[in-house]
Amino acid sequence: MSTPRGFVLGLDLSTQQVKAMVLDDELVVLTEVHVHFDKDLPKFSTQGGVHIHEDKLTVTSPVLMWVEAIDLALERLVQSGVDLSQVAVLSGSGQQHGSVYWRQGARKTLRNAAASSPLHLTLQGCFSLDEVPVWMDSSTATECRQLEQALGGAQSLADITGSRAYERFTGNQIAKVYRTWPRAYEDTERISLVSSFAASLFLGDYATIDYSDGSGMNLLDIRKKCWTQRCLDACAPDLAEKLGELVPSHTVLGPVSSYLVQRYGFSPNCQVVAFSGDNPGSLAGMRLQAGDIAVSLGTSDTVFLWLKEPRPALEGHVFCNPICQEAYMALICFKNASLTRERVRDRCAAGSWEEFSRALRATPPGNGGNIGFYFDTMEITPPAVGIHRFNTDDEKVEAFADDVEVRALVEGQFLAKRVHAEGLGYRTEPETRILATGGASSNKDILQVLADVFNVPVYTLDTANSACLGAAYRAKHGLLAASGLSFSAVVRTAPPCQLATWPSQDSAKVYAAMLERFQRLEQTFVGPCRP
């Protein structure tokens, strides 16, 4: 059987930017472009790609900013000299949980978009909400309580959907939209996730939600792979209709829109494969295998594992696996991540990553017994807020010296990852590898602390951008899956992960003792799961 050949395009619509990559037929990256929301589209006045509202809990992004950014990314690909007519297939990753509300009649406008006008102008009147909730939003505690009650408790909801009710999960966000703006809700003909929204722009029609990103909504039955009617009913009326169907993550949705063909020179035969979440995308990009642990260090930090059997608990999430329909993935998300590292860098390391790294090298593993927890905003794992510093005698202190503060932050973030991953069943085995990705994985000194805290070697890819790479790999898999090829067979030509660093001597001893203290100290300020 002949296999379709050609370039592959991967896109990632993340919190702070749109990234796009074109790979050749052997899955080697040819070109990569970025559009940074704050810098490239300043008229939207975002900070870190978002608007944080007065209550500090509501966090949104302007939907038209995303539309404009995707066009700009495609323009930059053309400027880079890549011939988009050679792209045979494309897919994408999106920040998880965020939702987009298409107004009645928007489908028609999307289908008929003319190439003569940029899409953000054509789609101006197409959204019932201009500012849409993103994963950083934590304003839906009331809706979460109601959903758990309707389903018979937090564990019962987790048993079906893979997670107890989380504020950022889309079902709860939709319930808040319905409660707050019932008319806008009524006027909505389709609700997309960020991933299926971006796919819709490429397809020129509403794109279906895939199983894996759909698992981050508190609505999908992760075993039966369908919407759970009781969850839909508890969130808002007519929701099944507004959400549309669900599809396996490798599904080919159809050819690209005529807008893309005419404006950027795509081939009318170029296929769009279902987009998915950025964490599922990273799992694909890193080619995670059972036994590995992946750590993504981006706007959010996440830890994820390959699961054969779903065993949802009250902490962490279980999602459908994006590259193997029989498997699952476990995920833990930490909200205070790169932006907190940047804040401490600016205050204690003169705003420079080099100086931040020097501070890590100047301080010993274990930080002389000093431990810190840094939650600038309400954390997800664990649910806590504020800065909590403890000295070697476990006494609360107000401040650390600058270098000690830098190490306390990074050690504290990685100790939390290990403690909470162990809570999900992670155990270090002799063969365990950490696969690290995300913007901060380009920092060797940060990776050294990661290797030391877990006592496991750390591997990285050539690019820190595994969600984008994973989208491209999934695209190719989508094209070939019909001929029976598995994901691993499809990506066998792609460059493998490289060893970045090995744990230093004695770190196992230092951190074993520290882990026990860390867990005890964390309990002194962690509140109940939800107020």
> Which residues pair with residue 387 across a beta bridge?
374
Kindly state the smallest distance separating residue 518's Cβ from ligand ADP, in Å. Answer: 22
Q: Which is nearer to ligand ADP, 242 or 317 (CB)?
A: 317
Please, are residues 192 and 262 in contact by the beta-carbon 8 Å criterion?
Answer: no
Interactions with ligand ADP, residue window 282-321 (CB under 6 A): 298-299
Give 137 or 452: the residue with its C-beta nearer to ligand XUL. 137
The C-alpha angle 122, 128, 132, rounded to 5 degrees, equals 100
Window 196 to 255, contacts with ligand XUL (CB under 6 A): 216
Which x/- pattern, by CB under 6 A, does the window 189-208 give for ligand ADP?
--------------------
Which residues does 69 contact at the CB level (< 8 Å), separation at least 6?
Answer: 13, 17, 18, 35, 37, 40, 41
Question: H-helix or E-strand containing 396?
Answer: strand 396-397
> CA 233 to CA 475: how far, in whole Å?
34
Q: How many residues bind ligand XUL (CB under 6 A)?
A: 15
In the region spanning residues 225 to 264, those forming contacts with ligand ADP, defined by CB under 6 A, are none
Distance CA 421, CA 304 (A): 8
Pairing of strands 99-103, 188-193: antiparallel
Give dist(CA 385, CA 381) in Å, integer: 10
User: Which CB sits closer to ligand XUL, 15 or 441?
Assistant: 15
Structure tokens at 400: 């650390």
**Cis bond upstream, residue 382 (ω within 30):** yes
333 touching ligand XUL, by CB under 6 A: yes
- Helices 402-423 & 444-454 angle (0-180, nearest 10): 50
According to CB under 6 A, which residues from 425 to 444 bind ligand ADP? 438-440, 442-443
Among 16, 46, 96, 208, binds ligand XUL (CB under 6 A): 96
CA angle 482/485/486 to nearest 5° reads 115
Considering only 68, 71, 143, 278, the residue that binds ligand XUL (CB under 6 A) is 278
Q: Which residue in the set 58, 215, 300, 437 belongs to the binding site for ligand XUL (CB under 6 A)?
A: 300
- Residue 373 tokens read as 């927890």
Establish if 95 lies at the interface with ligand XUL (CB under 6 A). yes
- For the CB of residue 117, give the shortest distance to ligand XUL in the complex, in Å: 30
Partners of 31 in the β-ladder: 22
Determine contact, residues 138/375, Cβ cutoff 8 Å.
Answer: no
**Which residues are registered as beta bridge partners of 247?**
210
Helix or strand or coil: residue 30?
Answer: strand
C-beta of 161 vs 302, nearer to ligand XUL? 302
d(CA 99, CA 118): 22
Q: Which x/- pattern, by CB under 6 A, does the window 137-176 give for ligand XUL?
A: -------------------------------x--------
Helix axes 402-423, 353-362, angle to 10 degrees: 80
Q: Which of 4, 6, 31 is nearest to 20 (CA)?
A: 31
When asked if residue 321 is in the footprint of ligand XUL (CB under 6 A), the reply is no
3-state secondary structure 357-379: HHHHHHCCCCHHHCEEEEECCCC
| DSSP-derived secondary structure letter, 90 | E
Contact flag: residue 17 with ligand ADP (CB under 6 A): yes
- Give the Cα separation of 346 and 361 in Å (integer): 18
Considering beta carbons, is residue 203 or 446 the nearer one to ligand ADP? Answer: 446
Residue 96's binding partner among ligand ADP, ligand XUL, none (Cβ under 5 to 8 angstroms by kind) is ligand XUL
List the one residue from 103, 164, 335, 341 that touches ligand ADP (CB under 6 A).
341
17 forms part of the interface with ligand XUL (CB under 6 A): no
Nearest to 202 by CA among 265, 269, 271: 271
Closer residue to ligand XUL, CB minimum distance, 15 or 257: 15
Question: Per CB under 6 A, does 195 bind ligand XUL?
Answer: no
Indicate whether 14 belongs to the interface with ligand ADP (CB under 6 A).
Answer: yes
Q: Which does 302 bind (CB under 5 to 8 A by kind): ligand XUL, ligand ADP, none?
A: ligand XUL
Piece of the chain touching ligand XUL by CB under 6 A; list 91-99, 218-226, 339-347, 454-462? 91-99
Residue 442 binding partner per list ligand XUL, ligand ADP, none, with a CB distance cut-off of 5 to 8 Å that depends on partner kind: ligand ADP
Stretch that binds ligand ADP, among 97-105, 192-200, 334-342, 374-382 (CB under 6 A): 334-342
What DSSP element (H or E) covers 119?
helix 119-122
Least separation, in Å, of the C-beta of 302 and ligand XUL? 5
Indicate the residue among 61 and 443 with the shorter CB distance to ligand ADP: 443
**Where does this chain bind ligand XUL (CB under 6 A)?**
14-15, 95-97, 135, 168, 216, 277-279, 300, 302, 331, 333
**Where does this chain bind ligand ADP (CB under 6 A)?**
14-17, 298-299, 338, 341-342, 353, 438-440, 442-443, 446
